[in-house]
Amino acid sequence: MSGRSAALGVGLLTLGCLAACESSRAPEPQPAVLVEPSAATHAALAAAVGQALEGIPVQLAEDALTHQSELLIEPVRPRDAQGLPLQGREVRAPERFRLIEQGSRCILVHERTGRRFPLSPATCMPAPSA
């Protein structure tokens, strides 16, 4: 094999490897919504949010993340015996989460920290465009 043929062979091999690497990459994540949520899905979502918030219990709506890919968790405001807020104005920002689909996986992303929580019992699909 001549030097020119060897170089051509190496070039073709490199091109083939690049094409294989390109096709094996994980698909780009995209905003998603939950499909056919169940009690297990809801429990996994609540657990993921609680873990992201370091154990703070949360109460989520039954239809959380079924219509839009974003979830906002407002801080709980302490109240007195009459139900009035103990502090005046709430200065803490809500915690923001988003649901993404990457391949066949549903992943909850905590925006402030960037942490990702796979929701294994969940099925999701691309979120409708706004």
Q: pLDDT tens-digit profile of 96-113?
A: 999 999 988 999 999 999
Q: Is 110 exposed, middle or buried (0-12, 13-18, 19+ CB in 10 A)?
A: buried
> pTM of the entire structure?
0.72
By the 8 A CB rule, do 84 and 91 touch?
Answer: no
pLDDT at 116: 97
Q: pLDDT tens-digit profile of 61-70?
A: 999 999 999 9
* Cα–Cα distance, 94 to 104 (Å, whole number): 29
Domain ranges in the chain are: 27-75+92-130
78 pLDDT higher than 80 = no
Q: pLDDT tens-digit profile of 12-54?
A: 455 455 455 555 566 788 999 999 999 999 999 999 999 999 9
